[in-house]
Amino acid sequence: AQTVTQSQPEMSVQEAETVTLSCTYDTSESDYYLFWYKQPPSRQMILVIRQEAYKQQNATENRFSVNFQKAAKSFSLKISDSQLGDAAMYFCAYRRKNSGYALNFGKGTSLLVTP
Amino acid sequence: NAGVTQTPKFQVLKTGQSMTLQCAQDMNHEYMSWYRQDPGMGLRLIHYSVGAGITDQGEVPNGYNVSRSTTEDFPLRLLSAAPSQTSVYFCASRPGRVNTEAFFGQGTRLTVV
């Protein structure tokens, strides 16, 4: 079974600064997908960014980027120019490519953004 | 386009009562799944379905039943609610193609007293 570990229960960043959220995972698969989801107080699960394991290039979406280290099984999320609206729970998730019917989630990191 | 719709949004049950959490999607997605979210635990998979008539257990299936009679609907049944089932429940769906993302409902907050 695949496991996803987020070792930072809480993180804090000042507005306009950069913060990195950590995620490691364990798998014996060679091809899979990794995701970062944002959950604001509204409870809605919002996809922030995703990475396909066979792509060596790190995914980016505006102020959000990842550092994908496949050999180290590490998938960190970097948020640049942090905004108050970035405050939320962030979940790292894994999905197998073959027979990957659902997601495996980490326990989440609560991000606080201070003015 | 409504996406994934969960009802109700909030529910309070007494121990031993039964109820069904509804999940419907209008995107013709093959895959559907139910998760529960508990503080400090992330989202854990309860049951999932890869198409009408096909369901399987996830990580925490005990105390829950599912069925998938149509592509659109994937209800989650609690036969005899227990306080340990107090949680926030999410339904998600996605197309059966490999390179697709999941769409989540708004969640149901369930309290069992």
Which residues pair with residue B103 across a beta bridge?
Answer: B93
**Cβ distance of B42 and A91 shorter than 8 Å:** yes
> CA of A13, closest CA in chain B: separation in Å?
21
Answer with the residue of higher pLDDT: B74 or A102: B74
Task: Quickly list DSSP for B64-84.
Answer: EEE--SSSSB--EEESS--GG
**Cβ distance of A52 and B35 shorter than 8 Å:** no
Phi and psi at A84, nearest 5°, equal -55, -35
In this predicted structure, the answer to whether residue A1 has a pLDDT above a threshold of 90 is no
Task: Quickly list DSSP for A9-54.
Answer: SEEEEETT--EEE--EEE-S-SSEEEEEEEE-TT---EEEEEEETT
Q: How far apart are CA A113 and CA A106, in angstroms?
A: 21
**Is the torsion defined by CA of B10, B61, A9, B104 positive or negative?**
negative
**How confident is the model over B51-105, as pLDDT tens digits?**
999 999 999 999 999 999 999 999 999 999 999 999 999 999 999 877 788 999 9
Q: How far apart are CA B58 and CA B91, in angstroms?
A: 13
Range of weakest confidence among A44-48, A99-103, B87-91? A99-103
Task: From chain B, pick out residues whose CB is under 8 angstroms from the CB of A47.
Answer: 101-102
Residue A11 neighbours by CB under 8 Å, 6+ apart = A19, A21, A109, A110, A111, A112
Report the pLDDT value the prediction gives residue B1, as an integer from 0 to 100: 61
In this predicted structure, the answer to whether residue B40 has a pLDDT above a threshold of 90 is no
Q: How far apart are CA A113 and CA B13, in angstroms?
A: 36
Helix (H) or strand (E) holding A86: none
Task: From chain A, pick out residues whose CB is under 8 angstroms from the CB of B99.
Answer: 33, 52
Per-residue pLDDT, averaged over B23-41, amounts to 95
What is the percent of chain A where pLDDT is above 90? 87
Report the pLDDT value the prediction gives residue A85, as an integer from 0 to 100: 97
Interface with chain B: mutation pick from A4, A8, A90, A103, highest number of B CBs within 10 Å: A103
Selection from A64, A36, A72, A71 nearest residue A51 by Cα: A36
**How confident is the model over B2-28, as pLDDT tens digits?**
799 999 999 999 999 999 999 999 999
**Cβ distance of B101 and A35 shorter than 8 Å:** yes
